[in-house]
Chain A
Amino acid sequence: MKNINFTCPFCSLLCDDIQLTVNNNNFKQLNSNCPILAHSLKKKIKDQFACINGKKNNITKAITSLSSLLKKSKATLFAGMGTDIKGTKATLKIADKFKCIIDHFSGDSYVKNIKSIQEEGGFFLTLSELKNRSDTIIIIQLSNEELPRLFEKYIFSKKTINNLKKRNLVFIGNKVPQFIYKNKKKFNFDHIKLNSINLLNFISSLRNSIKSDISEIKEKKILSLLKLFKQTNYGSILWSIKELDNNISDLIVTEINLLIQDLNKFTRFAGLSIAGSEHITTVNEVMLWQTGFPIRTSFEQGFPVHDINQFSTKRLIDKKEIELVIWINSFNEKKIIINQKIKTVLIGIPSHPQKKDVDIFIPVGTPGLDHNSHLLRIDKVVSLPLKKIRNISLPSVDYVLNKAGEI
């Protein structure tokens, strides 16, 4: 038994302050209560067989079968895309060669952020700016499900470069989550109760009111926020796209981005979108640099074509516009869509419950557990090296795809 330092690959915070005890490939966290980490470390690898048509097979045969499906398919989608930098590079290489489409598990919500940026841009900040500068933090509809330690590490912490005393924290949303409620005494706390539909109107009104004479503003909630903005030296607005009404979330995000732009006319403000499950940030960044476009890009025409609606996984499967879907998830057991009329491959962790339901299952290891890796943090700027800590021979996503592309 020994203790090791560990960089956690299971969410986009990439906490690198974790200590684990290691005992014969079993791990226990020593200094963190993160539920995602705890859940992820509990998973036991009972077997590591590949499956073809639900039956156990060896990995080499499964990769050969994947290769022949790829060659036969006239329309292939890479879905899920729970992988690291190398895995994304390998996917893009094969997608370019076999003229495939790429989407991600979080595509439906994440593209709303993308659309807003493509239309209006924005003013953003990274986590240490949030931690060290932000004397006012506006939280919009945020839970701690995606990044459980975000508040503990970057908002509740007391030691800051700017020597911040008691920060202002405003929660805008229906119900204050317990983890904020329990800590509200640490802040000058306020709650603006709103549901997602009223949120759009509220932020629009807030934005308009910035330009108005303050004496003419009657709405108390808006008035109190305006007063707060005037006292703020450096404010930040955080939102979780997944928690917003998906029908109007792009409009809400655009209003937030425009509000931040307006606030910067007299003070400093910046925003951070909390959207990064299954490392969509990493996948999106690699796609941008290698192809010029974010997720939901097709290579069917020999060059990249990006369309946030056309290349949605759900739409492509529902409309049967693809012949083959290759799901990738090297981090967890998230449910995948299986349509019996579309050939389905899963490149996933060995404990995935749907491994026998797909045409081909190829087991892979997890970046940072079973092989060295690089991932990008939620704010797109910081990337971390992750090191192999487990000794079981599971291939990586890039190994599987590079092999499949070579056959």
Chain B
Amino acid sequence: MITKLENGRIYDPINKINGKIKDLFIKNGKIIDRPKRNEKISKIINLKTKIIMAGGIDIHSHIAGGKVNLARLLLPEEHRKHLYSSSNILRSGSGLGTCSSFHIGYKYAKLGYTAVFEPAVLPSNARSAIIEMSDIPLIDKGTYTVLSNDDFLLKLIQKKSNQKKINDYVAWIIQSTKSLGIKIVNPGGINAFKFNQRELDLDEKNKKYNITPRSILKVLTKSLIDLKAPHPIHVHGCNLGIPGNVKTTLKQINAVEGKPMHLTHIQYHSYNNEGDKKFSSGAGILAEKINKNKNITCDVGQIMFAQTVTASADTMSQYRNHHFAHPKKWICADIECDAGCGIVPFEYQDKNFVHSLQWAIGLELFLLIKDPWRIYLTTDHPNGAAFTAYPKLIKLLMDRSFRNNEFAKINKQAQKSSVLSNLKREYNLYDIAILTRAGPAKVLGLKNTGHLGVGANANITIYSEIEDKEKMFENPYMVIKDGEIVVKNGKIQKVLNGKFYTAQVDYDKNIEKEINIYFEEYLGRNFENFKIQNQELWDHGIETENIECDRNDY
């Protein structure tokens, strides 16, 4: 069956199409050039006046895993505020920031997103996190496994093991946990917190292993390059949320010496400590640094004013921030010699100086980092805000007068501390398509999605062109997933499962001997059971799509 989408205005940055009116043809879930002479077009959809983009890709959103479930457990009152009834095709559910699984899929699809990546899966929690994700319909998914605080790796680094051995371990972890990449979280810091260290800067030593975050960052960055992994190292750096941490973030960029690195939720790592309140924006200096260092990509982790919940593997930072919990309750956990997690509910208020400035810093970063191919739109869902805030965030980027009106509402002192109102830049639709589709696809090494070229999966979002960009992006006219119409006029038409992206990587099997001993002696588990088998995923209806480790642009 062939479907023709005709007369739509296309924004497809990977194929350098900027607002051209062009027909698209879909066959068997893929985009084709055009039907052969003898092939019949079964369906024609006229999209005159409509805008067409590839389905959105969220590079960093906490949608599953133990930490999300702990947040759900902690906050029944938040779930009671957002209740969803079942229907003939939809399941019931609840919640917003920690929305229940089916509704994460429904909500993302209704926003025009077709792929979302869970960025913080602990090795020991990978299996159940992936099974949980099999209950998130309508979107493709993938994970990054958290390393950098696991005792096995820290011991390897302490013993000055060679890079090849570390690469074998990293590859073994990727393969065993079925992930697309590796995330660093507060390198060495979560482990150090287990030894009662409360902060760990880039060049401070972890008490137990006597190694620095810098050394961990360097070996893991190199490892992903050596492995030709689809996505470079994904880094949640040291000192999250601490005033003055932008200096550490700058040092981290220097530490990787020009090698590719993705810095995540940089808003939380862009704070200076100037002024009366010893809290100020470091967005300008960080943006300048990122502009100069073409090896760096980032996502922002924008905050929006509302009640939310922060959920992170960074136990050290979350414990430090638990005093700000709203409501006054929080959970932390030390987890399985891997890392940890911390859940702190949070209400960002526009009358609060710090929150207001955090909001402004995020937007400053969006506007001061010049290359849209190296910055991606995230709220670090749910940490900065639920992903449902994306349409408003897009409007803030596209509409300066709206932005300045919103800026005028925030804490006055924060207004004085921010250059935001002077920034004239407005994103256009082509830029937004880069920020939310093309850029993430490129940095994740996904060749068959994020664009509308021949051979791409037919993941397509069609918007009605509306002056108010928040309205335009919150209610796409139509969403097509793998060639099927799944959303029309804001209503879900059909529920289907997305794919699960995993990286295919080889390693020297010798590493397994050492890992086996470690599992047996210290973890009290059989290491063979740690390795997730494809059959297990298939049993839960998960269709995997393997991404080869053959990246040649590092």
Interface residues in chain A, defined as those with a beta carbon under 8 Å from any beta carbon in chain B = 5, 7, 16-17, 85-86, 89, 93, 96-97, 114, 117-129, 131-133, 153-154, 157, 159-162, 233-234, 264, 267-268, 270, 285, 288-294, 299, 301-304, 306, 372, 374, 376, 379-385
Let me know if A131 and B522 touch, CB within 8 A.
yes
Q: Report how far A384 CA is from B530 CA in the complex, Å.
A: 8
Partner of A129, one of B93, B135, B334: B334
Q: Which residue in chain A gives the minimum CB-CB distance to B90?
A: A96
Let me know if B92 and A299 touch, CB within 8 A.
yes
Q: Report how far A114 CA is from B98 CA in the complex, Å.
A: 17
Let me know if A131 and B196 touch, CB within 8 A.
no
Let me know if B343 and A381 touch, CB within 8 A.
no
Q: Which residue in chain A gives the minimum CB-CB distance to B128?
A: A383
B118 smallest CB distance to A (angstroms): 12
A205 smallest CB distance to B (angstroms): 23
In the bound complex, residues from chain A placing their C-beta under 8 Å from that of B343 are 121
Let me know if B194 and A374 touch, CB within 8 A.
no
Kindly state whether residue B38 has any CB partner on chain A within 8 Å: no
Q: Mark B82-101, 1 if CB is under 8 A from A, else 0.
A: 01111000011111001111
Interface of chain A, main secondary structure: mixed
9 contacts between A and B (CB under 8 A): A16-B529, A97-B86, A123-B333, A124-B332, A128-B336, A289-B69, A290-B101, A291-B100, A381-B128
Let me know if B100 and A161 touch, CB within 8 A.
no
New A-B contacts (17) at CB < 8 Å, excluding given A123-B332, A372-B539, A374-B131: A85-B131, A89-B135, A96-B92, A128-B337, A159-B522, A162-B208, A233-B195, A289-B100, A292-B99, A293-B76, A293-B94, A303-B86, A372-B536, A379-B336, A382-B125, A383-B125, A385-B532
In the bound complex, residues from chain A placing their C-beta under 8 Å from that of B76 are 118, 293, 306
Let me know if B333 and A126 touch, CB within 8 A.
yes
Q: Mark B313-329, 1 if CB is under 8 A from A, else 0.
A: 00000010000010001
In the bound complex, residues from chain A placing their C-beta under 8 Å from that of B529 are 7, 16, 384-385
Choose among A5, A93, A383 the residue with the greatest number of B CB atoms under 10 Å from its CB: A383
In the bound complex, residues from chain A placing their C-beta under 8 Å from that of B319 are 264
Kindly state whether residue B371 has any CB partner on chain A within 8 Å: no
In the bound complex, residues from chain B placing their C-beta under 8 Å from that of A304 are 79, 83, 92-94, 100
Interface residues in chain B, defined as those with a beta carbon under 8 Å from any beta carbon in chain A = 64, 66, 68-70, 72-76, 79-80, 83-86, 91-95, 98-102, 122, 124-125, 127-128, 131-132, 135, 151, 193-196, 208, 319, 325, 329-337, 343, 521-526, 529, 532-533, 536, 539-540
In the bound complex, residues from chain A placing their C-beta under 8 Å from that of B72 are 288-289, 292-293
Q: Which residue in chain B gives the minimum CB-CB distance to A5?
A: B526
Let me know if A132 and B100 touch, CB within 8 A.
no
In the bound complex, residues from chain A placing their C-beta under 8 Å from that of B333 are 123-126, 270, 381
Interface of chain B, main secondary structure: mixed
In the bound complex, residues from chain A placing their C-beta under 8 Å from that of B69 are 285, 288-289, 380
Choose among A7, A125, A154 the residue with the greatest number of B CB atoms under 10 Å from its CB: A125
In the bound complex, residues from chain A placing their C-beta under 8 Å from that of B91 are 93, 96, 290
Q: Report how far A22 CA is from B343 CA in the complex, Å.
A: 46
B145 smallest CB distance to A (angstroms): 14
In the bound complex, residues from chain B placing their C-beta under 8 Å from that of A288 are 69, 72-73
Let me know if B337 and A289 touch, CB within 8 A.
no
Q: Report how far A56 CA is from B248 CA in the complex, Å.
A: 72
In the bound complex, residues from chain A placing their C-beta under 8 Å from that of B533 are 385
Q: Report how far A330 CA is from B51 CA in the complex, Å.
A: 53
Partner of A133, one of B100, B194, B325: B194
In the bound complex, residues from chain A placing their C-beta under 8 Å from that of B194 are 129, 133, 234, 268
A311 smallest CB distance to B (angstroms): 13
Closest 8 pairs between A and B when the two form their complex, measured CB to CB: A292-B94, A383-B128, A292-B100, A292-B79, A121-B329, A302-B85, A303-B83, A16-B526
